[in-house]
Amino acid sequence: MSIPLFHVLILAGILFAMGLACTIAWRANVIMMLIGIEIMLNAVMLTLVGGSAQWGSADGQIFSLMLMALTSSEVSLALAMVVYLHRRKQSVDTDDFTSMKG
């Protein structure tokens, strides 16, 4: 294994920043915000797998598997919510959902 952990961490950091940028820039669109969250979670998984490779133990990989299960349940709930909101207002624009505004 000739890949430095440092470079893996740099890649994960840049990926996380790109996911965060996606979530912030597309804040008017629910679907693209969810995609940004997916990118961030993948960056975290890359960090965990890199740590697992550095110390030669399975714990990081197990945690990334847990993270994957968490992500799939999060996405299923969030997309069900998107379908529900679209049925109510015919839109996925976050600016249209202001009914809780005082």
Partner 1 sequence: MEATLFYILALVTLVGTGFAITARQAVRAIVYLVNSFFALALIFYLLGAPLVAAFEVIIYAGAIMVLFLFVIMMLDLGHPERMKSPRLVDWIPALVLVLVTAASVAVLAMEHHAQPLAAFSGISVRQFSQALFTRYGVAVELVSLQLLFALVGAIYLGRRR
When asked if residue 88 is in the footprint of partner 1 (CB under 8 A), the reply is no
When asked if residue 98 is in the footprint of partner 1 (CB under 8 A), the reply is no
Q: Which of 64, 7, 17 is nearest to 39 (CA)?
A: 17
Binding-site member from 56, 98, 99, 102 for partner 1 (CB under 8 A): 56
Residues binding partner 1 (CB under 8 A): 1-8, 10-11, 13-22, 24-29, 31-32, 34-36, 38-39, 42, 45-46, 49-50, 52-54, 56-59, 61-62, 64-66, 68-77, 79-84, 86, 92-93
